[in-house]
Amino acid sequence: MNNVKDRVLNVGSRTIDLKFIEPNFLDDNLCDCYGQYFERKNLIEVQKTLPTPELQKTILHELLHSFVSESKLSQNILSEDKDEELLVSHMETQIYQFFKNNPEMVLVIFGHLIERWLNLKKV
């Protein structure tokens, strides 16, 4: 992915910094860890040396954590960290596989936004 550059993302009412960093948190609780979301810092960190599919899935995974946080699901329904991690992991896999197996659906679902963005780029 040649688009690996730090950026600011708008997620609900929050502004989140997406930072691409050198690998420094490879093993967390005896499992591979490619990214992390810091709710209090409004920060997502992702290892910048990941191969493209893993990089894309990691960004999606950490964004899903921010969505859970923004929707306050972690305070009620997903009160334990393992519950949130399980939900986010399954959703990340399902969303990624859906668009991988049905790439035309990107245009069906987001086509109007892509067209609007391209029109804005022309201005």
Give the tens place of pLDDT for each residue, 17-48: 999 998 876 554 445 689 999 999 999 999 99
pLDDT computed for residue 94 by the predictor: 96
Residue 2 lies in a domain: no
Q: Which of 92, 95, 78 is nearest to 39 (CA)?
A: 78
pLDDT computed for residue 56 by the predictor: 94
Residue 49, CA distances (Å) to 52, 55, 56, 97 in order: 9, 8, 12, 22
Mean pLDDT of the chain: 86
Count how many domains the chain has: 1
Residue 79 lies in a domain: yes
Residue 73 lies in a domain: yes
Query: Residue 77: which CATH number?
Result: 1.10.10
pLDDT band at 4 (very low <50, low <70, confident <90, very high): confident
Residue 49 lies in a domain: yes
Residue 81 lies in a domain: yes
Those residues with Cβ within 8 angstroms of residue 10's Cβ, 6 or more apart along the chain or in another chain:
16
Residue 1 lies in a domain: no
Those residues with Cβ within 8 angstroms of residue 33's Cβ, 6 or more apart along the chain or in another chain:
25, 26, 27
Range of the domain at 44: 7-122
pLDDT tens track for 107-117 = 999 999 989 88
Identify which has the larger pLDDT, 73 or 45. 45
pLDDT computed for residue 20 by the predictor: 95
**Between the ranges 23-32, 65-74, 89-98, where is the mean pLDDT highest?**
89-98
Q: How far apart are CA 103 and CA 17, in angstroms?
A: 28
Residue pair 21/47 in contact by the 8 Å Cβ criterion: yes
